[in-house]
């Protein structure tokens, strides 16, 4: 019997149930935010969102699948922050139009339902490799960064220098020759980072260096699909941060946190029915130019479209997911300095 979602009327709030071969399994849709399967431990924002869901009545299959994809979301996945834009588009269309993998937090719910397979994941990795090559080529040409991958590559590499240019050309050649990101790519990155710090691999595998460097401890064939893009990011940071005041970890965190703030602010303004607001007016960004900030704001509002109850609920789920994903460490982040970026929750509580 093919795996299928249990009828909505039998599904508890914040969860999904799948029946496969007459056996049932349950998935927590808030695990990427709360890191606990106990609903009593979920915070007041999640509980309020679940009450919103309760008032909606029956949800369509696409609404449920979009919510399931959102439960996969991880802000350190290679598709971030495009993953947020994809979810906004799907919410606006009320249709699961791009069932790509956007993280490993969903405990394989969409895999079980047949929406992820090895061929689609291979195509996704090849597309990721092509995007890196495009951005690396732009950096060599000293073009202006446009996409989020561009801003990452340009920001991590920093100012052009002969040694950096030679390394980037080599990296492009390695990726192009394999048409994807492979173990050859990994060896190139390892060699580059080890030249900077002879104990690099020991520290990386011991989690001493944090993201993205701890992916070096993952074994070949790891399910997540993040390894090689994370290796690329590691190499860019090793090569590019030699003369920077911020550390490699600071650079990576800044890239993630600026995009979290930008998208949260924009989703929040859509919920509040306020004009698109770009994050460049809130802070002094390193990875989001004023032009790109405006583009993010306008694109999100356009993608989400006209409001209805189901779309509003999904957008609030997305705002909570983007704001709180992987925040169980409780460390202060950029978004904490701008409570207005998630002010919608003040209306709910």
pLDDT, tens digit (0-9, with 9 covering 90-100), for 264-305 = 999 999 999 998 876 666 667 888 877 788 899 999 999 999
Cβ atoms of 30 and 71 within 8 Å: the answer is yes
Question: What is the structure's pLDDT at 1?
Answer: 56
Instruction: Please report whether residue 227 resides in a domain.
Output: yes
Token pair of 129 as six digits: 């490799």
Q: Check whether residue 133 and residue 67 sit in a common domain.
A: no
Regarding whether 231 and 133 lie in a shared domain, the answer is yes
Specify if 293 maps to a domain: no
- Tokens encoding 186: 């990994």
Q: Is 103 in the same domain as 143? A: no
CA–centroid distance for 288 within its chain? 16
Residue 140 sits in the same domain as residue 113: no
Residues 230 and 132 both lie in one domain: yes
Domain count, the chain: 2
pLDDT recorded at residue 279: 67
d(CA 157, CA 154): 5
Supply the range of the domain harboring residue 234: 121-248
The per-residue pLDDT for 292 is 83
Consecutive H or E run containing 26: strand 23-28
From 222, 248, 274, the end of a domain falls on: 248
Six-digit token string for 273? 């029915």
Three-state SS at 4: strand
Same domain, yes or no: 114 and 36: yes
Place of tokens 């409780």: 330
Considering the domain architecture, whether residues 111 and 11 belong to the same structural domain is answered as yes
Collapsed DSSP state (helix, strand, coil) of residue 136: helix
Among 102, 118, 134, give the residue marking a domain's end: 118
Residues 50 and 91 in one domain: yes
Q: Give the Cα separation of 206 and 226 in Å (integer).
A: 18
Q: Which pLDDT belongs to residue 38?
A: 96
Residue finishing a domain among 94, 118, 142: 118
What's the chain's Rg over C-alpha atoms? 20
Give yes or no: residues 93 and 38 share one domain. Answer: yes
Answer yes or no: do 156 and 111 share one domain: no
Residues of the chain with pLDDT under 70: 1, 179-182, 208, 219-225, 242-246, 278-283, 328
């Amino acid at each position: 019997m093919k795996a299928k979602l249990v009828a909505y009327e039998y599904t508890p709030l914040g969860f999904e149930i799948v029946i496969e071969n007459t056996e049932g399994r349950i998935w927590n849709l808030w695990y990427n935010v709360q890191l606990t399967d106990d609903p009593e431990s979920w915070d007041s924002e999640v509980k309020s969102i679940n009450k919103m869901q309760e008032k909606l009545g029956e949800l369509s299959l696409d609404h449920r699948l979009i919510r399931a994809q959102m439960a996969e979301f991880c802000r350190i996945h290679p598709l971030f922050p495009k993953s947020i834009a994809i979810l906004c588009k799907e919410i606006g269309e009320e249709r699961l139009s791009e069932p790509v993998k956007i993280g490993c937090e969903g405990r394989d719910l969409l895999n079980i339902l047949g929406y992820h397979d090895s061929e689609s994941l291979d195509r996704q990795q090849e597309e990721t490799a092509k995007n890196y090559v495009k951005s690396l080529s732009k950096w060599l040409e000293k073009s202006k960064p446009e996409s989020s991958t561009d801003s990452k590559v340009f920001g991590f590499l920093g100012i052009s220098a002969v040694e950096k240019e030679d390394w980037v050309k080599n990296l492009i050649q390695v990726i192009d020759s394999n048409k994807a990101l492979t173990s050859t790519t990994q060896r190139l990155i390892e060699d580059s980072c080890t030249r900077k710090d002879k104990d690099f691999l020991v520290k990386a595998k011991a989690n001493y260096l944090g993201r993205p460097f701890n992916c070096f401890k993952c074994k070949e064939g790891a399910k997540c699909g993040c390894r090689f893009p994370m290796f690329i990011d590691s190499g860019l940071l090793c090569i590019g941060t030699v003369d920077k005041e911020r550390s490699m970890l600071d650079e990576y965190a800044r890239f993630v946190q600026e995009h979290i703030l930008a998208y949260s602010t924009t989703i929040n303004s859509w919920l509040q029915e306020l004009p698109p607001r770009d994050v460049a007016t809130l802070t002094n960004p390193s990875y989001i130019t004023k032009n790109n900030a405006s583009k993010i704001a306008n694109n999100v509002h356009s993608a989400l479209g006209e409001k209805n109850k189901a779309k509003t609920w999904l957008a609030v789920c997305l705002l909570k997911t983007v704001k709180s994903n992987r925040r169980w460490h409780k460390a202060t982040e950029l978004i904490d300095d701008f409570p207005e970026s998630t002010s919608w929750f003040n209306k709910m509580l």
